[in-house]
Amino acid sequence: MRAQYINAVLEVVDLIPVGAVLAYGDIAVLLDDGGPRQVGAVMSRYGSAVAWWRVIRASGQPPVCHDARALEHYCDEGTALRPASPRAQDNWRVDIAAARWQPTEREFVLLDGIRTGVTAGMASTVDPPAAKMSAPHDGLAS
């Protein structure tokens, strides 16, 4: 995976404010590169360095197997939650319609800069710089 892409995903996550979320696919759209699976792979390997709980599935569910830890963060941050459907195994989800981050004009300028960094490095495939990311692991730390 390109280091520029990994760094870009983590930089976007760093911009998501307290109480807000983005779906994996939202980040791919903002970067105009990759898709939900690529963003998920970055978060799984390198996401412990950022607010991982602010990146969720499009259904409003938190990262797989991290429901309890994510719920603590959502409650602390005042993230909008809603009950899940009666058929769901969980009894809550993030209210993505209410909590989805809507960047300001200033934040879109920052996102444009991040996206430019990804497109500038499209030809290289290298290991990510150690300064920005921790060693690969399950990606989620509290």
Rg of the chain over CA atoms, in angstroms?
15
Classify residue 81 as left (phi > 0), alpha (psi -120 to 50) or beta: beta
Report pLDDT digits (tens) over 9-25. Answer: 999 999 999 999 999 99
Compare 136 and 40 and report the one with higher pLDDT.
40
pTM assigned to the model:
0.81
Which SS3 state, helix, strand or coil, does residue 74 take? helix
Amino acid sitting at position 96 = I
Domains of the chain: residue spans and CATH: 3-120 (1.10.10.10)
Count other C-beta atoms under 10 Å from residue 123's C-beta: 7
Tokens of 58: 């499009």
Q: Is residue 10 within 8 Å of 46, Cβ to Cβ?
A: yes
Report pLDDT digits (tens) over 58-113. Answer: 999 998 889 999 999 999 999 999 987 666 656 889 999 999 999 999 999 999 99
